[in-house]
């Protein structure tokens, strides 16, 4: 019997593929670091029965119509704003993502980013590298406390909940805003559900973990930053599209808010000439939320398992619809 052909849009290690090779004919793009060019993606998708892709691939309506023969698209991410779900569904393509396996790792990074921003760790490191460390002085690199402050989490899904647990360990008060109430965090972590506006007004740390959708695009805009405390710190570990970056730049530059820690940007990758890199009150990371070796392996394994199950006529583990 012919094995289904799978195209993977990056080069991934052989040891991850090995367990699936009996049942799947696996082909992949030649680079680990560079995305597959669009023409090659189209060419390879035509020959494939299933696709394992990354957030760098735009799986839009045109692609779904062109590749409607695909049985499954396994997205190596929990977020799936790179995929036009309606078109995929219309073309009867199963779409899966990678929830759960990355929750704790992404929460770790989110909290690390919050701490690095509050305590000015990158500026502090650069002090040494740039020979700025003179005599010790009372307010040298004085940052913001984290313990006993108020964190406001926008988007109380799995990762939000894992961040809230970390915040609890720092004796923080937890506010959250979400499409629906999360009674578990209310009961177990004493988190309080508030309106978006109240969260912005009352939080020392505003943390975005909200997925990008039509409803959330640019939700952190000029008005949102003006509503935040002037001592407030904004952290974004979800998607750059939820932030109006010009408004954020202005808020940081004019000290309308104190600082921001960003793992995600509207247009990725950003370069060293991006306006935000000119500010000292930011910590900028290249979208590494789930980037621990173990978690990245788990994400790829889950994608391959989903594909394998679908070609065995079974339900994938983590379908999106």
Q: Would you name the residues annotated as active-site residues?
A: 239, 268, 287
User: Does residue 243 come out as left (phi exceeding 0), alpha (psi in the -120 to 50 range) or beta?
Assistant: beta
Compute how many residues bind ligand GLV; rule: CB under 6 A.
Answer: 7
Give the interface segment with ligand GLV, choosing from 76-84, 191-199, 221-229, 271-279 (CB under 6 A): 76-84
Residue 216 interacts with ligand GLV (CB under 6 A): yes or no: no
Give the interface segment with ligand GLV, choosing from 71-79, 84-92, 134-142, 184-192 (CB under 6 A): 71-79
* 5 φ/ψ angles, rounded to the nearest 5 degrees: -95, 130
Between CA 222 and CA 234, with CA 228 as vertex, the angle to 5 degrees is: 85
Question: What is the three-class DSSP state of 25?
Answer: strand
List binders of ligand GLV among 155-174 (CB under 6 A): none
CB of 187 to ligand GLV, least distance (A): 28
CB of 286 to ligand GLV, least distance (A): 11
CA 268 to chain centroid, in Å, comes to 12
- Residue number, 55 or 162, with CB nearest to ligand GLV: 55
CB of 160 to ligand GLV, least distance (A): 13
Out of 45, 78, 162, 210, which residue is the one contacting ligand GLV (CB under 6 A)? 78
CB of 299 to ligand GLV, least distance (A): 7
Q: Give the β-pairing of 94-96 and 50-53.
A: unpaired
Residue 52 interacts with ligand GLV (CB under 6 A): yes or no: no
- Residue number, 6 or 302, with CB nearest to ligand GLV: 302
Residue 35 interacts with ligand GLV (CB under 6 A): yes or no: no
Give the interface segment with ligand GLV, choosing from 61-69, 74-82, 199-207, 223-231 (CB under 6 A): 74-82
The contact mask relative to ligand GLV for 90-129 (x = CB under 6 A, - = no) is: ------------x---------------------------
Q: Which string of b and e fits 239-272 if b means at least 16 CB within 10 Å?
A: bbbbbbbebbbebbeeebbbbbbbbbbbeeebee
Residue 14, token pair as written in the block: 């052989």
Out of 79, 143, 275, 319, which residue is the one contacting ligand GLV (CB under 6 A)? 79
Report the distance separating Cα 293 and Cα 19, nearest Å. 19
Out of 4, 157, 232, 289, which residue is the one contacting ligand GLV (CB under 6 A)? 289
Question: What is the three-class DSSP state of 154?
Answer: strand
User: Within 13 Å of residue 206, how many CA atoms lie on the same side as its CB?
Assistant: 31
CB of 211 to ligand GLV, least distance (A): 8
The answer to whether the CB of 26 falls within 8 A of the CB of 9 is no
Out of 290, 295, 306, 318, which residue is the one contacting ligand GLV (CB under 6 A)? 290
- Alpha helix segments (H runs only) across the chain: 14-17, 38-47, 61-66, 85-90, 103-118, 121-129, 158-169, 183-189, 196-202, 222-227, 245-253, 293-311
Q: How many CB atoms lie within 10 A of CB 142?
A: 9
Out of 48, 72, 77, 310, which residue is the one contacting ligand GLV (CB under 6 A)? 77
Give the CA distances from residue 275 to residues 92, 135, 233, 246, 288, in Å, rounded to whole numbers and listed in that order.
42, 32, 18, 9, 20
Residue 9 interacts with ligand GLV (CB under 6 A): yes or no: no
CB of 291 to ligand GLV, least distance (A): 9
Residues that bind ligand GLV (CB under 6 A): 55, 77-79, 102, 289-290
């Amino acid at each position: 019997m012919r094995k289904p052909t799978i195209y993977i849009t990056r080069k991934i290690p052989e040891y991850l593929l090995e367990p699936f090779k009996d049942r799947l004919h696996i082909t992949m793009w030649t680079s680990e670091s560079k995305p597959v060019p669009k023409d090659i993606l189209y060419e390879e998708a035509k020959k494939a029965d299933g696709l394992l892709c990354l957030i760098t691939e735009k799986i839009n309506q045109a692609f779904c119509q062109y590749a409607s023969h695909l049985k499954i698209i396994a997205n190596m991410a929990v977020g799936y704003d790179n995929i036009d779900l309606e078109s995929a569904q219309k073309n009867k393509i199963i779409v899966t993502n990678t929830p759960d396996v990355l929750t704790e790792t992404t929460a770790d990074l989110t909290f690390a980013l919050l701490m690095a921003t509050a305590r000015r760790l990158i500026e502090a490191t650069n002090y040494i590298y740039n020979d700025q460390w003179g005599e010790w002085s009372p307010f040298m690199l004085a940052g913001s406390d984290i313990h006993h402050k108020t964190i406001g989490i926008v988007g109380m899904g799995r990762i939000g909940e894992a961040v809230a647990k970390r915040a609890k360990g720092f004796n923080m008060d937890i506010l959250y805003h979400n499409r629906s109430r999360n009674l578990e965090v209310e009961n177990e972590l004493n988190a309080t559900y508030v309106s978006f506006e109240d969260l912005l007004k009352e939080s020392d740390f505003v943390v975005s973990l909200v997925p990008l959708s039509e409803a959330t695009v640019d939700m952190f805009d000029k008005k949102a930053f003006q509503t935040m405390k002037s001592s407030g710190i904004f952290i974004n570990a979800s998607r750059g599209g939820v932030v109006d970056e010009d408004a954020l730049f202005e808020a940081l530059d004019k000290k309308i808010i104190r600082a921001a820690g960003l793992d995600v940007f509207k247009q990725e990758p950003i370069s060293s000439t991006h306006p935000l890199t000119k500010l000292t009150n930011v910590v900028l990371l290249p979208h590494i939320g789930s980037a621990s070796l173990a978690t990245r392996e788990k994400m790829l394994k889950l994608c391959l398992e989903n594909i394998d199950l679908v070609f065995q006529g079974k339900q994938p583990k983590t379908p999106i619809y």
